[in-house]
Amino acid sequence: MSVFQTVTPSMQNLDPLKRVNYTFGLVLGVDEFLQEQVYLTEKDHSQYRLVHGYGTVCGLQVQVVNGVDPEVRVSPGVAINPQGQEIHVPRLMCAKLNQWLTTNKDALQSVFGTSPSTLSLCLVLCYRECPTDMVPVPGEPCRTQQDTMAASHIAESFQLKLCLDRDQIIGSPPGSPSLDVSNLPDGLCFRPSQLEEDAVREFGLLLERIHITDAAADFLTQEQLEHLVRDLEKPVGSPPLFSPPWGGPVLYLHPRDARDFLRAAFLVWVTEVRPALAARSNSNVCESSEQCVLLASLTVPTSNSWQVAGTVGIDESRRPFLVETRLLQEALLSGFLGAGAGGAGLGSVVAAGTFQIAAGQANAAGPTYNGLTALHTPASPDDGTYLLNWSGSPAYLNPASASPSTHTYLVHGTAIAAKKAPKAIPVTFELLEFQNGGILVRVADAQGNATATGFMVEIKELAAG
């Protein structure tokens, strides 16, 4: 008695760095066509992955329809995932939240125990491939009918799913084993790690802190700047540290050093930080293993029966997205990009605040930026003059004493008139002069009387270079 088995041709390992060398007389088989397809496909993906980045490109607006049966809706659109694959969503998609909670109730209970008052979820878009268009194919004898059918095409598709908006190692109910990505219950997933996305945002905040000026007390060295960039590889908080808005204390580069130091900083990012981030995600060099893109985080109030019990909130602050180069070109031409880099464009804010005037004295009405103060220094008891100065960095330097001039200040002020003040006598905020002790301003009406009840002021520095 003979024993037969199906024979399949041996397939070579496909290498994205190989392309077929077409020569006269070369016999082409499945291996050659697959190798050529892999080579061209990976070249296309690497353009996004290595050069442009990833995230939402167009559309994919997330909305929540609250009500008796709340649902999440995602509009049609396109995204690029961290592997450089295009994800197309051709039509409006929706997910019933109560249905998802019911379906995954047992899995959620194994993670959280009793239902939490608020469940943090995230909406994730993933790339998928689907074999399609089955056709009969010839082959060896002794095969079943199923073995004689094969998919003639691969359709690029997508998957939208709700995941736990938590890191990939999370807490568990008391007495149960800790959960990680390898033993998470079926039906549940974690949010994408976004290691490089978080690091890119932190790098942007670092660049925002850098001001280029020759009028500072202390300047960054190249070694200090490189060290700050290397620190971007270290894990950051979740969400990224976006508060305060300017990301930390101001850092200063001298104009003669700025170009070389910034080139050195970007070189550290390219040669050290990006490969380290890939290694942390257990990926190949300079690549990512992530196939999914975060669209939004959802705050879902839940009842004891694992149903939605209130209004669902949406947070898109961690959502990565890509802006087309054409728009970036317009932003560059308009002078918007780089406007905060220590004196270019509109200048950088160095002090700001709102002050109330009582008995001739100006007292801060709430917080001030950079410790701005307004000292009443009257030439006469009621002339409404105040000397503005601040304690933070960069410190005030009298631009009138510098020769040649290296910087100046733009002072934007608005006087606050008394509610019962006559409309025929307007109250104004006037810049008088730059002094060694600060910026002298006057807040008075058109007749020179100090009738204002307060003022708001913002001071920007314009530096040469």
Q: What is the pLDDT of residues 4-57, one digit of tens each?
A: 444 445 556 888 888 888 889 888 888 888 888 888 888 888 888 888 899 999
Please give the average per-residue pLDDT across 363-375, as a whole number. Answer: 90
Q: Kindly write down the DSSP assignment for every residue of 270-333, as one continuous string.
A: IIIIHHHHHHHTT-STT-----EEEEEEEEEEB-TTSSB-SPPEEE-TT--B---HHHHHHHHH
Angle between helices 255-268 and 222-230 (to 10 degrees): 30
Predicted pLDDT of residue 366: 85
Q: Is the pLDDT of residue 197 over 80?
A: yes
Question: In sequence order, which ranges of 113-247 are alpha helices (DSSP H)?
Answer: 195-209, 222-230
Determine the Cα–Cα distance for residues 179 and 175; give it in Å rounded to an integer: 12
Cross-strand partners of 377 = none
Closest Cα to residue 296, out of 234, 246, 232, 239? 239
The pTM assigned to this predicted structure is: 0.65
**Exposed e or buried b per residue across 203-215, where buried means at least 16 C-beta atoms within 10 angstroms of its C-beta:** bebbbbbbbbbbb
Q: What is the pLDDT of residue 145?
A: 63
CA-CA distance, 420 to 43, in Å (whole number)? 71
The answer to whether 392 and 448 are in contact (CB under 8 A) is: no
**pLDDT tens digits for range 131-167:** 888 888 776 666 666 667 888 888 889 999 999 987 6
Banded model confidence at residue 93, pLDDT cuts 50, 70, 90: very high
Predicted confidence (pLDDT) per residue in 243-258, tens digit:
333 456 788 898 899 9
Mean pLDDT, all residues of the chain: 82
Mean pLDDT of the 74-103 span: 94
Q: Which amino acid is at 445?
A: D
- Establish how many alpha carbons lie within 13 A of residue 339's alpha carbon, considering only the half-sphere containing its beta carbon: 12
Domain boundaries, the chain: 1-52, 54-135+151-168+290-324, 196-287, 348-463
Minimum mean pLDDT range among 34-43, 65-74, 135-144, 320-329? 135-144
pLDDT digits (tens, 9 = 90+) for 214-238: 777 788 999 999 999 999 987 654 4
What CA–CA distance (Å, rounded) separates 356 from 425? 20
CA distance 174 to 187: 22
Q: What does the pLDDT look like over 418-431, one tens digit per residue?
A: 766 555 567 889 99
Q: What type of residue is 411?
A: V
In this structure, the strands spanning 62-65 and 71-74 are antiparallel
Find the range with the poorest average confidence among 80-89, 103-112, 179-188, 384-393.
179-188
